[in-house]
Every structure is written in C-alpha cells, then in structure tokens.
Amino acid sequence: MNETVIEEVQVFKEGVIDQLSNRDVISFRLGDLDFDGELNVGGNVIAKKCLSKILTSLRVRDSFFKYRNDISPEDWEELSKILKDANQNTEFWGKKLTAADGFTRITELYPRSEIIGGADILSNHFTQYFDYLIKALGDTKVPFELKSANFNTDIENVDMKLIATNSEIDLFQDGGDIWKAGTNVNWDILKVSTAPFFERLICSNGMTADQMGFKANIQNKKFNLAKIEKEISKLIVQAPERFEETIQYHSAHLKDVNLSLNEFYDFKHFFENKNSDERYDHILMKAFKEGEIYKNYAEDIKEKSKKWLGTANSFRNAYDFFNDMTYLASHTDEVNMDPEDARELTVKASTLFFKKDLDLEDVAPTINDIKVSKIFGD
C-alpha cells in the first residue's frame, strides 16, 4: 500500500547518510572548561545556544562573560578557577560536530547520567530510526504520503512529516475547515521525538502536536531502541481518526475567544528575540500591528504589568491568530523563515492550541454607567 512513500523515505535516508559529517558524543566535567576566548572544552567551542545550561550549572548570570572586560586578566583567571573548582564534578553529555575545515563545536548539551541505552543507539540511530519508520509504513493499513523531509546539516537533525491520505477532520462540521492527520518524526544523535501532525487543507498550514507525542533524550531511561521503535510504530500503524474529537474540541475552544495582550506579545517577543539580523522585520510589521491596540487603550502598553496585559484584549481571535502563526511556520521559503525557528514556532503555536485556559476565558464583561451609592455614613 505504501510502496511509494517507503521508496521516498529510503532515498531520503541514503541522502542523509551521505551528508553525515564527523559527529561524536563526548562527556566532560565543568572543571574541564576553558574560559579564555570563546568558552570551550578540549578545544571544542560551546555553541551559543548551549551557554545558558553551562551558566545555570555554574550558578552565574547570563551576562557573566561581559564582566571579563571589567576586571583584570589575573582576576578573570582566578574567578574562572573558583567556578571550575566549585563545580568540578558536574558532568555533561555533548554533541560534537566537526566542520569540513576541522573546526569543532558542541551544539547540544544534556546533564550526564548513567541512564543511556548503549553505544548502539549513538552509533546507529540514524539508520535504526529510518528502518523503524519504513517497517511501520509496511505494516500499517493506513495510506501515507511524505509531506516533507528535511536534514539540517548544521546540527545534523532529521525532520519528517507524513500525512494519512484517507484522514479527514471536519473541524466545525460544516465542511469549511478540513484538516488531515499524520505523523512528525524528528531526531538527532542525542534526542528523538514523535508526535501527531495535522495539516489544514485550505492553506497547507501544519501543526505538530508535541503535547500528544513522545520525547526522549540521552539522559532518559526511555531513550532506548525498543521504546523508540514502539512509539514510531504506534503513530504510523494506528488510525488517525482517534485524534478527531480532541482537535475539534480545541479548535472550537480557540474560535470562541480573543487573545489577551499577554498572549499576543509572547509571540511578538519570539520574533523580536530572533531578529538580530532584521530577518523578521516584515513579519513583525505585518503580523503584530499595534495601532488598534494603542488606539483603543490610549495608554503606554509597554509600561503595563504582565497581570494587566493578561486581562487586556488584543482584538485578535485566538483561532485566526493560531492559523497565522502556523502559516508562517509552514511556508518558510515564502516568508524567509529559518527552518529551526519555524519548528520552534510550530511547537509554540501547538502550545497555544492545546492551552487549557486562555487568558480572556470566563471573565466578567465590562459594564459601564452603574454606580453603587454609599451605604454607611453621610
């Protein structure tokens, strides 16, 4: 039944294996860190996205390295030694990538533990996960098509989305908004995740429902081949119709309420924090217009507390806003969005979709022109 998609996955697998660079998993102690120049261990530079885990373990602020310019080299060396000695026995697993020019960097970190599924997972995971997926596609009675298959060579990450062609979820039971269900599998050498994937047919928006999926990394007991094979097979072999009621419920939930300003600005800040190169200026200008907000409130919104923002109306319907965000994450070429940022946005949009209580739910309406007279005294 799934001969075509199996062949496509096999071809993709072979292409990924051909592109694999020299990657390895290393373990190290915080006492091995070198604070001179870029933070590194054994000459392997710690990638910026991993710095927060290191600094948290050292119990110092994110701005720690800025202090290096404010003190003498001798004092910096002494401070570094104190921190390393105090955290000598704290260990990490790290994913090390080696570029074509020989430059090595650590791109992922997890606290080290003895809970590890064995060397077979680390050395053969790419082949094994592909094989599990291919086997499940051969075993299932559900017809699938390959929606997308991407391999990020910078971080050696595989991401595949498959759609069950016979699935159809009529969200509002009026034929106007149809979704299809499928599967998203994502992995690299240190972690793996599987989750239901949904595509809105009207505009090809996609959502990965991580809340309904499986995740494991190198420090988890469930990071073992038997468990991972079971989870991959479960999402492929079982009929996608089991998600229908859940998706319909949450869609209707969002359709009935607007976002608060707190929820609105949470997404705006997501793009602002990733906009150092002005890549997302066009998205910020188009998707996060604030004119109506300031016009209606006539106040300096930026000075307001999170509590205030959580009670303020953004005038953006939650379901429409959710679809705007998934559109951006699903049309990366059109909107010039980084694939890794798009994946993060998909997860963020999914969190909004499955949020149990939106800020503006079940709140009393504003009623004007009612005055209660003074009860006691003159």
CATH of the domain at 31: 2.40.50.140
Residues 91 and 150 in one domain: no
Residues 99 and 130 in one domain: no
Alpha-carbon distance values, 20 to 23, 99, 117, 174, 326 (Å) = 8, 11, 22, 47, 30
Residue 362: the pLDDT is 79
Enter the DSSP assignment of 89: T
Buried b (16+ CB within 10 A) or exposed e, 178-203: ebbbbbbbbbbbbbbbbbbbbbbeee
- Out of 111, 135, 170, a domain closes at 111
Any domain includes 361: no
Residue 119: the pLDDT is 41
Residues 10 and 28 in one domain: no
Any domain includes 83: yes
- pLDDT band of 359, cuts 50, 70, 90: very high
Any domain includes 40: yes
| Domain assignment of residue 78, given as a range | 22-111
With a cut of 80, say whether residue 218 has pLDDT above it. Answer: no
Q: Do 202 and 180 meet the contact criterion of CB atoms below 8 Å apart?
A: no
What is the pTM assigned to this prediction?
Answer: 0.70
For the segment 69-97, the average pLDDT, to the nearest whole number, is 88
- pLDDT band of 10, cuts 50, 70, 90: very high
Ramachandran quadrant class, 76 (left: phi over 0; alpha: psi -120 to 50; beta: rest): alpha
Helical H runs in the chain?
Answer: 3-19, 51-58, 73-86, 119-139, 225-237, 244-255, 261-273, 281-287, 291-297, 306-311, 318-330, 332-335, 339-353
Q: Which two tokens stand for residue 313?
A: 């109306």
Number of domains in the chain: 3
Enter the DSSP assignment of 222: T
Any domain includes 129: yes
Residues 192 and 265 in one domain: no
Tens of pLDDT, residues 299-350:
888 888 999 999 999 999 999 999 999 999 989 889 999 988 998 898 899 9
Any domain includes 359: no
Ramachandran quadrant class, 43 (left: phi over 0; alpha: psi -120 to 50; beta: rest): left
Any domain includes 367: no
Any domain includes 198: yes
For residue 87, count CB atoms less than 10 angstroms from its CB and return exposed for 0-12, middle for 13-18, buried for 19 or more: middle
Residues 271 and 340 in one domain: yes
Residues 92 and 123 in one domain: no
Residues 175 and 233 in one domain: yes
Question: What is the C-alpha to C-alpha distance for residues 284 and 5, in angstroms, rounded to an integer?
Answer: 37
Residues 303 and 267 in one domain: yes
For residue 35, count CB atoms less than 10 angstroms from its CB and return exposed for 0-12, middle for 13-18, buried for 19 or more: middle
- Out of 210, 241, 272, a domain closes at 241
Residues 26 and 72 in one domain: yes
Sequence-separated (6 or more) residues with CB below 8 Å from residue 159: 148, 149, 150, 151, 152, 184, 185, 186, 339, 343
Q: Do 106 and 45 meet the contact criterion of CB atoms below 8 Å apart?
A: yes
For the segment 344-368, the average pLDDT, to the nearest whole number, is 85
13-27, 86-100, 117-131, 309-323: which has the minimum mean pLDDT? Answer: 117-131
Picking from 328, 221, 299, 86, the residue whose alpha carbon sits closest to that of residue 290 is 299
Residue 369: the pLDDT is 60
Residues 97 and 149 in one domain: no
Residue 118: the pLDDT is 43
Question: What is the C-alpha to C-alpha distance for residues 233 and 192, in angstroms, rounded to an integer?
Answer: 14
Residues 67 and 188 in one domain: no
Sequence-separated (6 or more) residues with CB below 8 Å from residue 17: 126, 127
Question: What is the C-alpha to C-alpha distance for residues 288 and 282, in angstroms, rounded to an integer?
Answer: 10
- Out of 58, 91, 111, a domain closes at 111
Residues 152 and 11 in one domain: yes
Any domain includes 374: no
